[in-house]
Amino acid sequence: MTRYIFITGGVVSSLGKGLMAASLAALLQARGFRVRIRKFDPYLNVDPGTMSPYQHGEVYVTDDGAETDLDLGHYERFTGVSARQSDNVTQGRVYQTIIQRERRGDYLGATVQVIPHVTDEIKAFATADTDDLDFVLCEIGGTVGDIESLPFMEAIRQLHNDLDRGQSIFVHVTLVPYIAAAGELKTKPTQRSVRDLTSLGIQPDILLCRCEHPLPDSERRKIALFCNVRPEAVIPARDAKSIYAVPEQYHAEGLDREVLRAFGMGDAPPPKLDRWVDIMDRQLNPEGEVTIGVVGKYVGLLDAYKSLYEALNHGGLANRVKVNVKWIDAELFEKGDDLAASLEPMHGILVPGGFGVRGSEGKIASVRFARERNVPFFGICLGMQMACIEGARNTAGIPDASTTEFGETSEPVVGLITEWMSTEGLQKRTAETDLGGTMRLGAYPAKLTGNSVVAGIYGVDDISERHRHRYEVNAGYRERLEKGGLIFSGMSPDGTLPEIVERPDHPWFVGVQFHPELKSKPFDPHPLFASFIEAAVKQSRLV
């Protein structure tokens, strides 16, 4: 039997529901259960692909090519379970499906309504493809009381009723704020938010209370009494030293025990937490540190590079060093900031993925600095394209090299991809194609050159990595770029799309067209990040 855990949030947003869901899933997994986590997003965009990173943070891409909420990245990093398109649904997608069906006449003359049509669609999404699972955790985005999330609340209320008794529970994440002037933790916001929830017909089984101070027993009992839960099911959730400390911490507070007890499974085996203990040992006891300069565009909002930040951290775990990330706004170099002064203290330079011309000359100048000064360089997606343009301009004698993404150019070293093969057959695009969901998305295989640097790093010649791009390096320039020392060491299996470039004569210089950060895990750091940080450690001994 598949059991369901519905996770809602109250009082304020940004309580870390995603991390909580990921940590609970990790704890259940550590007890031997098979888990999957799903996210319901109440906004009306069909997916977050067209939203600015400033609005929404990073767009997390799955193997099957879905552009999803960044919480799915947490889910994968904590459980190792590859997320799928069917694990993230927005209200926009639900309505899109229903309206398409209505236009086709599939409702046979019925009036199409929120209840039952929208709620049925949400329930179908929650319960699809769950045969091989012990637990499905469903996180509802937003905060109880939002107008937008009402259909989702109603759907989980109904589903709880549709399922067998004891087959589903509700976990509510709330805030217990500390009022410094009174020196007290306040339980009223939690009481109010549970009241909002019960007015929707949902009685939480477990309350996870985010708090900055220890939750005294008296307050725990008070919350229990007013919110109609047992005192042991009021779980304090204080800020953790690291996100990877959260599973152990919640376990110590009894979260997984209470969840299993709510399902009547109190006798489940204890979790094996060795994996998390080892990660925390590496995280808290580093043997050195390195500083990586990330030269990008969305440096004002860390969520915009969430997976990248985590993957750099994982590279540090692999090498037992602390990784300090310095976020550098590429545009400042175009406005006169001293590039050498900013980049000289860095042990590695990374140009991440991105869109649009803003800051691109600053990124290209940063690639040049890394190349000329022998500083480890990692270019990801747009970063690889910038490395190719830099190489073309400064090592291949093509001074006008550019990308068609930035406007018309006589030397399109990077250009729009118009055709490529996917598992669904030949894909075609033009400059007029819709922006939403039409990039080259998801996992694609690549072939590495046998004796290349990257083949050595991966230890294999055939890889599969996740993509999200509309432009590609133009293979027609390969010979000239290679003469300039920039070697094409990874290609799509048909040999048409460049996937990896490297400079073998440099201490560490790799550009990849895909996003390796999306597949890195704390317990399984991505080889490219592990190797890049290893090179940065060597560099730190030189400067």
| Residue 536 is assigned to a ligand binding site | no
| Residue 39 is assigned to a ligand binding site | no
Minimum distance of ligand GLN from residue 537's CB (angstroms): 27
Closest of 139, 138, 135 to residue 34, by C-alpha: 135
Helical ranges in 31-70 per DSSP H = 53-56
User: What percent of the chain is helix, strand and coil (3-state, nearest 5)?
Assistant: 40, 25, 35
Closest of 1, 3, 8 to residue 157, by C-alpha: 8
Is residue 519 within the footprint of ligand GLN (CB under 6 A)?
A: no
Minimum distance of ligand GLN from residue 355's CB (angstroms): 4
CB within 8 Å of 456: residues ≥ 6 apart:
none
3-state secondary structure of 339: helix
Is residue 441 within the footprint of ligand GLN (CB under 6 A)?
A: no
Q: Are 128 and 92 in contact (CB under 8 A)?
A: no
Q: Are 313 and 292 in contact (CB under 8 A)?
A: no
| Residue 275 is assigned to a ligand binding site | no
Closest of 398, 392, 410, 400 to residue 488, by C-alpha: 392
Minimum distance of ligand GLN from residue 208's CB (angstroms): 34
* Stretch of 39-47, 178-186, 320-328, 351-359 lying at the interface with ligand GLN (CB under 6 A): 351-359
Minimum distance of ligand GLN from residue 352's CB (angstroms): 7
Residues within window 452-491 making contact with ligand GLN, judged by CB under 6 A: 468-471
Per-residue burial over 92-113, b if 16 or more Cβ lie within 10 Å, else e, is bbbbebbeeeeeeeeeeeeeee
Is residue 406 within the footprint of ligand GLN (CB under 6 A)?
A: no
Site of tokens 């330079």: 349
Catalytic residue numbers, as ranges: 381, 515, 517
Is residue 355 within the footprint of ligand GLN (CB under 6 A)?
A: yes
Minimum distance of ligand GLN from residue 353's CB (angstroms): 3
DSSP 349: E
What six digits make up the tokens of 158? 């109904």
| Residue 238 is assigned to a ligand binding site | yes
| Orientation angle between helical segments 274-284 and 306-319, nearest 10 degrees | 90
CA atoms within a 13 Å half-sphere pointing along the CA-CB vector of 372: 12
> Please, which residue, 237 or 388, has the CB nearer to ligand GLN?
388
Query: Considering CB under 6 A, how many residues would be counted as binding ligand GLN?
Result: 10
Minimum distance of ligand GLN from residue 403's CB (angstroms): 8
In degrees and rounded to multiples of 5, residue 155 shows phi and psi of -65, -40
Give the residues across from 402 on adjacent strands: 412
**Candidate residues 87, 196, 258, 405; the one interacting with ligand GLN per rule CB under 6 A:** 405
> Please, which residue, 49 or 376, has the CB nearer to ligand GLN?
49
| Residue 239 is assigned to a ligand binding site | yes
Binding mask 358-397 for ligand GLN (x = CB under 6 A): -----------------------xx---------------
Residues in the chain: 543
Q: Are 526 and 317 in contact (CB under 8 A)?
A: no
| Residue 404 is assigned to a ligand binding site | no
What six digits make up the tokens of 357? 């011309």
| Residue 50 is assigned to a ligand binding site | no
Is residue 354 within the footprint of ligand GLN (CB under 6 A)?
A: yes
| Residue 426 is assigned to a ligand binding site | no
> Please, which residue, 233 or 518, has the CB nearer to ligand GLN?
518
Give residues in contact with ligand GLN (CB under 6 A). Answer: 353-355, 381-382, 405, 468-471
Annotated binding-site ranges for L-glutamine: 54, 354, 382-385, 405, 470
- Specify binding-site residues for Mg(2+): 71, 139
Annotated binding site for UTP: 13, 186-191, 222
Annotated binding site for ATP: 14-19, 71, 238-240
